Amino acid sequence: MIKKYFLQILVVLLLILIAWGLYLVGKVENGKNNPIQASIKQTEGDVTPIKLPTAENIDTVFFPVRNWIIPEPEILAKSAIVFNFKQDNTNNVLFKKNAEQILPIASLTKLMTAIIALENYNPEDIIKISKDSVDINGNNGGLINGEELKVKDLLYIMLVESSNDAAMALAGDGTKINFDTFIYLMNRKAQEMNLKNTQFVEPIGLDFLNQSTASEMAIIAKRALNVPLILEILKTPQTTIFSIDKKFIHNITNTNKLLGKIPQLIGGKTGFTDEAGGCMVTISNISNISDNYLITVILGSSQREDDTSKLIDWAQKAWIWQ
């Protein structure tokens, strides 16, 4: 008798469990009260129209708003970040790929070189170029041993043409600080900015021990771009530089091949070594919005311009901007 009642109870419990399971399946299929399923639908390209901000709810919406119909971009870079910032210091990370991975940064190093140079020299100060600077490996900018140039002009040659000898001259040929002190100041500045994964052993980027992350390079780029002279230089497609005595002329062309090709692009800095691969930092405008900017950082890419173009285009389309 006991066994009979026991079996009856088990059957009732089983029927209750089946009914409860069918109820849950029905809710999942209908997408009711199921944020996980809704998120999956958005990610997989659900074509349900996005409910845009209206006049009634505009004050409660924090822009930008992600448009999940647009998928994440596919890029070749080992590491990347898209960073949105406004003049009121509001910051948003829009995209990350291994953004905390420590990697060589090649000539992106020169952004910090420029920051330290302008913190220790007046743009009109004159520097005499040494043989050691001229003899440095890599892109040299055609500087002449013994010629004299303004700090401002050396910054143009270094940042537009990515000149290694201009970087060496700024770090070691000036009269106010020596080479070792300059490198010390670069690393101290990184510490002051709380960049725990960034280090410099020279001012150029040839050494693979000049390292950072995409996230921290975005912070360095933002600091550099807040210096008007640096921003003006990074915008420059090409220019001509004269030595103080006008004997030597340097015609320089920007290594940033995207200048003039992407309407929103303001400027940027490139880098490449065999160890680092292709590296690139850019700053661009948000379409039709003033005082609202994007910084993209690419590290370790075989297609740095293509990756950067994809990220800029994606950020314009995949986010709803006020």
Closest of 147, 115, 116 to residue 242, by C-alpha: 147
Distance CA 195, CA 310 (A): 27
The reply to whether 110 belongs to the active site is: yes
Q: Which of 79, 162, 215, 243 is catalytic?
A: 162
In degrees, rounded to 5, the angle at the alpha carbon of residue 103 between the alpha carbons of residues 99 and 106 is 120
What amino acid occupies position 9? I
Instruction: Identify whether 49 is preceded by a cis peptide bond (ω within 30 of 0).
Output: no
Q: Are 100 and 213 in contact, with CB atoms under 8 Å apart? A: yes
Cross-strand pairs, 301: 278
With 0-12 / 13-18 / 19 or more C-beta atoms within 10 angstroms meaning exposed / middle / buried, residue 129 is: buried
Closest CA to 192 of 123, 268, 116: 116
Among candidate residues 78, 79, 97, 110, the one labeled active-site is 110
Question: Taking CA 82 as the corner, what is the angle to CA 81 and CA 86, rounded to the nearest 5 degrees?
Answer: 135
Cα dihedral angle (281, 287, 293, 299), rounded to 10 degrees? Answer: -20
Direct distance between the N- and C-terminal alpha carbons of the chain, in angstroms, rounded to an integer: 73
Closest C-alpha among 151, 156, 161 to residue 129: 151
Q: Answer whether 48's CB lies under 8 Å from 41's CB.
A: yes
Query: 3-class SS at 6?
Result: helix
Pairing of strands 65-66, 211-212: unpaired
Task: Tell me whether residue 107 is one of the annotated catalytic residues.
Answer: yes
Residue numbers annotated as active site: 107, 110, 162
